[in-house]
Structure 1
Amino acid sequence: MFRSLRNHNFRLYATGQVVSNTGTWMQRVAQDWLVLDLAHGSGTALGITTGLQFLPMLLFGLWGGIIADRYPKRRVLMLTQLSMGVLALVLGLLAITGSAQVWHVYLLAFGLGVATVVDNPSRQAFVVEMVGRRDLPNAIALNSAAFNGARLLGPAVAGVLIALIGTGPVFLVNAASFGAVLFVLYAMRADELHHSAPVKRAKGQLREGLRYVRGRRDLMLVLVLVGFLATFGMNFTTTVALVAKEVFHTDASAFGLASSMLAVGALSGALLAARRVARPRLRLLVAMGLVFGTLEVVTGLMPTYWSFLALLVPTGIAMMTITTAANATVQIGVAPEMRGRVMALYMLVFLGTNPLGAPTIGWLAEHFGARAALVLGGLISAVAAAVVGMLALWQARDESGAVRPALARLRRASRAT
Structure 2
Amino acid sequence: MSVFRSLKHHNFRLHFIGQAISLIGTWMQRVAISWLVYRITGSALLLGLVTFLSLIPSLVLAPFAGSFIDRHNKFKVVMVTQIALMVQAGVLAAMVWLNYYSMIWISVLSLAQGLINAFDTTARQALMVDLVDDKEDLPNAIALNSSAFNAARLVGPALAGIILSSFGEDICFLINFLSFIAVICCLVMMKLALIPASRSDVNIWADLRKGYDYLRESPDLSSLILLLAASSLLVIPYTTLLPVFAKDVFHGDATTFSWFESAAGLGALFGAVFMATLKPGRDLIRLTILSSTVFAVALLGLAVSSSIVLALAATAATGGGLMIQNSAINTYLQTHASSEMRARTLSYYIMSYQGMLPIGSLVIGYLAHYFGVGVVVFAEGIMGILIVLVFMLHQRGISHWIRVLHVIRLRYLR
Same-fold call, TM cutoff 0.5: yes
Q: C-alpha displacement at 1:405, in angstroms?
A: 5.0
2:13 aligned partner, one-letter code:
R
Taking the TM superposition and a 5 Å limit, the aligned residue runs for 1:17-416 are 17-39=19-41, 41-132=42-133, 133-190=135-192, 193=193, 195-201=194-200, 202-203=202-203, 204-279=206-281, 280-407=283-410
Q: Is the 8 A contact 2:334 2:342 kept in 1?
A: yes
Asked whether the equivalents of residues 196 and 336 of structure 1 are also in contact (C-alpha less than 8 Å), the reply is no
TM-score by length of 1: 0.95
State the secondary structure of the residue aligned to 1:51. Answer: helix
SS of equivalent residue, structure 1 residue 221: helix
Distance 1:237 1:403 in 2: 44
CA deviations on 1:333-391 (whole Å, 9 max, x unpaired) are 11111111111111000110122100111111111111122112221111111101111
Q: 8 Å contact 1:50–1:358 — kept in the other structure? A: yes
- Offset at 1:84? 0.6
Judging changes above 3 Å, is the alpha-carbon distance between structure 1 residues 273 and 292 closer, same or farther for their aligned structure 2 residues? same
Deviation at 1:399, TM superposition (A): 2.2
Unaligned runs of 5+ in 2: none
Secondary structure at the aligned position of 1:391 is classed as helix
Verify the 8 A CA contact 1:196 1:337 in the aligned structure 2. Answer: no
The one-character-per-residue Cα deviations of 1:61-82 (angstroms, maximum 9, x if unpaired) are 1111122211121111110001
Assess, with a 3 A threshold, how the Cα gap between structure 1 residues 20 and 294 changes in structure 2: closer, same or farther.
same
Instruction: Specify the SS of the correspondent of 2:136.
Output: coil
Is residue 269–residue 321 contact of structure 1 (8 Å, CA) maintained in 2?
yes
Q: Which moved more, 1:272-281 or 1:152-161?
A: 272-281
CA deviation vs aligned residue, 1:87-143 (integer Å, no higher than 9, x gap): 111111111111110111110000000000110111001111011422110000000
SS in structure 2 at match of 1:352:
helix
- Residue identity over aligned pairs, in percent, reads 34
**How far did 1:288 drift?**
1.9
RMSD of aligned residue pairs (Cα, Å): 1.4
Greater displacement, 196-205 / 386-395: 196-205
Deviation, structure 1 residue 198: 1.1
Contact 1:61 1:117 in 2 (8 A): yes
Is the 8 Å Cα contact of residues 294 and 317 (structure 2) preserved in structure 1?
Answer: no
Q: CA–CA distance in 1 between the matches of 2:325 and 2:86? A: 30
Q: Give the distance between the partners of 2:132 and 2:235, measured in 1 at CA.
A: 32
Shift of 1:282: 1.4
Report the AA paired with residue 291 of structure 1: V
- 1:408 positional shift: 5.2
Measured against aligned partners, the alpha-carbon deviations of 1:198-220 in whole angstroms (never above 9, x if no partner) come to: 13232211111111111100011
Contact 2:123 2:343 in 1 (8 A): yes
Secondary structure of the 1:2 match is helix
After the TM superposition, list the runs of 4 or more consecutive aligned residues in structure 1 that deviate by more than 6 angstroms: none
**Whole-angstrom CA distance in 1 between matches of 2:381 and 2:60:** 26
TM-fit CA distance, 1:401:
2.9
**Comparing 317-326 and 372-381, the one that deviates more:** 372-381
CA shift, 1:46, in A, is: 0.4
The 3-state SS of whatever aligns with 2:213 is helix
Q: What is the TM-score of this pair, normalised by structure 2?
A: 0.95
Count residues in correspondence.
Answer: 407
Contact kept in structure 2, 1:244 and 1:250, CA below 8 Å: yes
Distance 1:32 1:399, change over 3 A: same
1:56 CA displacement:
0.8
Q: Structure 2: which amino acid aligns with 1:37?
A: R
Deviation for aligned residue 1:236: 4.1
d(CA) in 1 for partners of 2:113, 2:359: 18
Distance change in 2, residues 1:12/1:402 (3 Å): closer
Asked if 1 retains the 8 angstrom alpha-carbon contact of 2:38 and 2:243, the reply is: no
- Offset of residue 409 of structure 1: 5.7
Q: Deviations over 1:207-234 (max 9, x none)?
A: 1111111110001110111111122221
CA distance in 2, matches of 1:248, 1:88: 31
* SS state at 1:146 partner: helix
Letter in 1 for 2:246: A
